[in-house]
Structures are given as structure tokens and as C-alpha cells.
Structure 1
Amino acid sequence: MAPRTRYRLDRVTVEAGEQRASTWTFGGQPMSGTEQAYLVLDGNFPARNKWEFLVRTPTGRDGRVEVRPRTTPNVKVWAE
């Protein structure tokens, strides 16, 4: 068995994408704020290495920031 190579964070590239006003529910409560998309390319893998995440930041001080994947690589272990 070949030794596993060490995961290198410097091979991960994150680019900010679209930012827009948005509304959503969190725990059944309506929220409003800003939704920011991020594109992530993971250079540690030769293929199936593209992710897209959404970060939702509410306008209120007591709101919770939500981070969730929009798209993930087509890998069975990461399927929802």
C-alpha cells in the first residue's frame, strides 16, 4: 500500500463569488441578510476537486452565520 501524502492547505484556492441580499429560515425562524458565494478549488486532488459554498450572514446582531455547500464533487462519501 502506498503511503498517504500529507494534505496541504496551501493548495486550496478560495475565490469570492456573487454577493446578494437574501432571506432564509434558520431553525424555523425567518432570517434576512447577505448571502456570499465562494468557489473552492482543492489542488490536493487531481480531479473532482471543485466546491461551491454559501455563507449567509444575518443583519441582526444576535443572528447565526450559516455556511453550507451549494455544490460538491461527485464523490459518494460526500453525497447528501
Structure 2
Amino acid sequence: MCVGIPILAGFISILTIFLAESGASLTTNPTELITARLMAIVLGSVIGAVGGRLLYHERLQHLAIRRLRQTRIAMKKRRL
């Protein structure tokens, strides 16, 4: 279960988006800028949540460790 996701939503605000783009000239329609930045933030958050879920999934960790051990053994056999 992803407990930290609701906390992330608290840090996203309109002021944050404008400050991130303060160096660039604002477009004539600030709604486009806000929408684009918000979509980038949401997409990045989703990718991060999926990546975190995969990293902490016990079954995937077990399979990855097993595969790494098999690869290490195969590489040692190849050197001999």
C-alpha cells in the first residue's frame, strides 16, 4: 500500500508551478503552463509510485536476487 502518495499532493500548488517557470517568459495563457506542469508532476508521481512499488515488492526482489546469483555462477564458470 502506498502511504506517501497523499502527502505528495500537499506540496503541489499554483505558486510552486509559477516559481518553477519564473526564469522562462510566461506564455500568454498561463492556464496552458499550469496544465502542462501539473500533468508533468502527476506523470512523474505515478512513475515514481510504480517504481517504488516494484522495488519493494517481495516476490520481485526474490526473483531478481535469484537471477543475479545464477548469472554470477554462470560468469564464474565461464572464466574457468
Shorter-chain TM range is: under 0.3
Which structure's residues are more often strand, by fraction? 1
State the TM-score, normalized to the length of structure 2. 0.22
Higher relative contact order (CA 8 A, sep 6+): 2
Q: Which of 1 and 2 has greater Rg?
A: 2
State the TM-score, normalized to the length of structure 1. 0.22
Which structure's residues are more often helix, by fraction? 2
